[in-house]
Structure 1
């Protein structure tokens, strides 16, 4: 399944023209995600390569994200994947409530780039990724100018908020 992300209307990008995410089911609780960022990628601010370790605050710069929750539930998980290979995973009891680290094996993160496409491949395994889960697929893009844009399959009204229930727009098959 391939989905288009759109920028939040209040935070357009000068350099990036499109972001798509391809989702591949690689096991009952495993997803492979390919984020394809198109545009003038030389103006994309990309964190330097680093050890593949859990790191907080990745969303403050270029970061690719996945939010997942079981159908009908309030609890959800947030996964952050940086092009540096750093990552984070959190569990929430409800909307921005009860945040704690989610136990997770280190996700696989690979990056490739051409003049007009920046690609981030991620493989992640977690019990919340079972069939029927609802997903929010998102990205924070920082440009060399310092401008940031916030991309999602669906945006809730108001300021960018990927945790909002309206963001969970994709049902995982």
Structure 2
């Protein structure tokens, strides 16, 4: 998958962050690896280290998110990945319906790096905890900046309020890699 540019929602614009992009940097039978890149990130608030643990409400601070569904299906998976190393995984039977914790064989990994005025967040998610490929994908981010600004970034939005669960947000397609 190529590098995808995320757009801020008009109602949740950034203060200083100028761009957020995401790309799948690895995909095999064991791992899905995704990288988010945040430009002009000097003022981004990174949640403090909390250790690998399942946690709710991660979207209230800087958090990186994936939404995965099988093409033609209403059911989907939501993954919330925090730079604190906390994470969450949920199943939905339809649009914001039937939410349940998704079992994962072990915790996803997350690594954050800062250099210059760029923040990079890399996440590795065990494929054994994800539905079979191919997927319609929604990639998003919540970016908290000093001063309390919280911007919302996604590939695409539906009409109205920012809602990463909206069907319009599943704007990319990811197929199984050749030879797998």
Residues 109 and 86 of structure 1: is their aligned pair in 2 closer, same or farther, counting only changes over 3 Å?
Answer: same
Q: What residue number does 2:135 align with?
A: 133
Residues 21-60 of structure 1 show CA distances to partners (whole Å, capped at 9, x for unaligned) of 1213421463100110001x22111100111110110001
Residues 53 and 17 of structure 1: is their aligned pair in 2 closer, same or farther, counting only changes over 3 Å?
Answer: same
Q: What residue number does 1:121 align with?
A: 122
CA–CA distance in structure 1, aligned partners of residues 92 and 27 of structure 2:
25
Choose 8-17 or 160-169, whichever is displaced more.
8-17
Within-5 A mapping of 1:1-173: 1-28=2-29, 30-39=31-40, 41-104=41-104, 105-126=106-127, 128=130, 130-173=132-175
Maintained 8 Å contact 1:29/1:130: no
TM (normalized to structure 2)? 0.91
CA–CA distance in structure 2, aligned partners of residues 47 and 160 of structure 1:
22
Q: What value does the CA root-mean-square deviation take over the aligned residues?
A: 1.3
Shift of 1:129: 5.0
TM (normalized to structure 1)? 0.94
Ranges in structure 1 where 5+ consecutive residues have no aligned partner = none
Maintained 8 Å contact 1:74/1:93: yes
Maintained 8 Å contact 1:31/1:129: no
Maintained 8 Å contact 1:90/1:102: yes
Residues 73 and 29 of structure 1: is their aligned pair in 2 closer, same or farther, counting only changes over 3 Å?
Answer: farther
Maintained 8 Å contact 1:138/1:153: yes
